[in-house]
Structure 1
Amino acid sequence: MNDLGTAAATALDLVLAADPVLARIVALSLRVSLTALLVAACIGLPIGALLAVARFPGRGAVLTLLNALMGLPPVVVGLLVYLLLSRSGPLGPWGLLFTPTAMVIAQAVLITPILAALSRQVLEALWEEYGEQLRSLGAGPLRAVPTLLWDGRFALLTVLLAGFGRAAAEVGAVMIVGGNIEGFTRVMTTAIALETSAGNLPLALALGMVLMAVVVLVNALAQLLKARGA
């Protein structure tokens, strides 16, 4: 218990002193996860909105597949992205493997189905409420997508929060494609795993504190924006 208390106290000191190693890891983690969220949102939200308003043969199968993709194992995503970016892969000449860009790609692939499936549920309810009115104004499914995305922007904050939380907590995929290289591709989750196994509990605990603080802060901000929007 004394060792744990000492480690916790040291971890708190690292956080309060903005330790350079800690700050570098946190900054890279936020940059990677937020970039992945932006990429996934640009793809997933329009797909979710289109599935909310469109009716076509095989739609049920598409929704089933999309819901199944929400549970993609991260290590499988990491493996697929690794094969794409490896030297013998189709994107190998770009030299993206073991870079922050590869980590962004892996996280974006992982959370895009989540954003698409959750946004579809949110926007389908809006379409049922306003669909008749939009159709009377001559707005077909494609023209209704931007309107629904804008009208449901505050409700979609929760969806984006879920995507960010999934991306920020990812370990397996980013470790496979990023390599956990110190000072280059080491993010909070991979650093926590490494430092814990190495017995460096103060740094692991400090990173865990920051990660929890980020999640709480993002959640509070989303709730505030939703309340202002309402």
Structure 2
Amino acid sequence: MELIWRGIIEAVHMILSADREVLQITWLTLQVCLFSTLISTILGVPVGMLLTFKSFPGKKAVLLLSHAGMGLPPVVAGLWVTMFLWRSGPLGEWQWLFTTNAIVLAQIVVSLPILISLSYSSFKKIDKGTRLQLKALAPTKIQTLLLYLKQAQFGLWAAVMAGLGRVLAEVGAAMMVGGNLQGQTRILTTAMVMEVSRGNFEIALALSFILMTIALALTFVLLRLQQKEASV
């Protein structure tokens, strides 16, 4: 208990003293996590809608991969991203390895299946009666898209929260593809692992409290948006 209390004090001290390295790590964490979640949402929601309302060759395979990908171990994702970005890999010419771009890419790999699967479930819950009513109104494609998004919005917000939670908690892939380089690719989760390996448990705890505060704040904002949209 004393160690936890010292960790809380250390976290408050880091924030109040505006520790430059901690602020840089925190800001980088926010950048990569929000950007990867945004891209996963932009890609995942349309794919989830496509899987719900359209039939095409390979649909079952895509569904299987997206559902299975929800439990994809981050280190496996990190390994594959590393191999693709390695200098002799298919994407080696991008020179993304050990950069924030590589971390974003790895986080997209682990969060995209969650967005696809949960979006698919959200659209699937729209009852057939509602679908028939929409068809009877003969809306345009854009109007149909907006109506379906409105009907599934509660579940879609939940999908975004789940995706964000996955990337905020991710450490294995980020460590593998980013290298935990100070001032360049070090984020809160990888910094925590490093401090634990050094035996600096107070600093690791302080960083964990900062990360939990960020997670709670972002989740609170998304919950408010979810409730606001649901009440409209």
| TM-score of the pair, normalised by structure 2 | 0.89
Deviates most, 29-38 or 143-152: 143-152
Residues 97, 178 of structure 1: 8 Å contact kept: yes
- Deviations 1:44-82, CA, capped at 9 Å, x for gaps: 110011112224566444323321111111111111111
Residues 174-213 of structure 1: per-residue CA shift (max 9 Å, x gap): 1111000011000010000111111222321221111111
CA separation of 1:62 and 1:12: change in aligned 2, threshold 3 A: same
Question: Could you tell me which residue of structure 1 aligns to residue 182 of structure 2?
Answer: 182
Alpha carbons 2:3, 2:202 under 8 Å: kept = no
Unaligned regions of 5+ residues in structure 1, if any?
A: none
* 2:84 paired with 1:84: yes
Change over 3 Å in CA distance of 1:217–1:107 after alignment to 2: same
* Alpha-carbon contact 1:154-1:225 (below 8 Å) kept: no
Corresponding residue SS for 1:217: helix
In the TM superposition, 1:14-25 aligns within 5 A as 14-25=14-25
Deviations 1:85-137 (A, max 9, x none): 11001111111110000100000111111000001111111253521122224
Greater mean deviation of Cα atoms: 24-33 or 12-21 = 12-21
Query: Percent identity between the aligned chains?
Result: 40
Matches within 5 A, 1:101-112: 101-112=101-112
Match of 1:160 in 2: 160
Instruction: Name the stretch that deviates more: 210-219 or 27-36.
Output: 210-219
Q: Secondary structure at the match of 1:211?
A: helix
Separation in structure 2 between the aligned mates of residue 59 and residue 90 of structure 1, nearest angstrom: 26
- The residue that corresponds to 1:11 in the other structure is 11
User: Match of 1:219?
Assistant: 219
1:54–1:216: structure 2 CA closer, same or farther, 3 Å change rule?
A: same
Could you list the runs of 5+ residues in structure 2 that have no partner in the other structure?
A: none
Name the aligned partner's letter for residue 132 of structure 1: L
47-56 vs 65-74, which deviates more? 47-56
Give secondary structure in 1 for the equivalent of 2:181: coil
* Cα deviations by residue, 1:122-171 (Å, 9 ceiling, x for unpaired): 11112535211222244699984454224433441111011011001101
> In structure 1, how many angstroms separate the alpha carbons of the residues matched to 2:121 and 2:144?
16
Q: CA 1:129–1:190 in structure 2 vs 1: closer, same or farther (change >3 Å)?
A: farther
Distance 1:100 1:17 in 2: 26
Pairing of 1:1-230 with structure 2 (within 5 A): 2=2, 5-56=5-56, 59-126=59-126, 128-138=128-138, 144-229=144-229, 230=231
Contact 2:11–2:210 (8 Å) recurs in 1: no
* Farther off after superposition, 53-62 or 107-116: 53-62
Counterpart residue identity of residue 45, structure 1: V
SS at match of 2:153: coil
Distance 1:123 1:4, change over 3 A: closer
Which letter does structure 1 place at the counterpart of 2:185? T
Give the conservation status (yes or no) of the 8 Å contact 2:7–2:206: no
Q: Is the 8 A contact 1:50 1:145 kept in 2?
A: no
Q: Does the Cα contact within 8 Å between 1:53 and 1:141 map onto a contact in 2?
A: no
Secondary structure of the residue aligned to 1:126 is coil
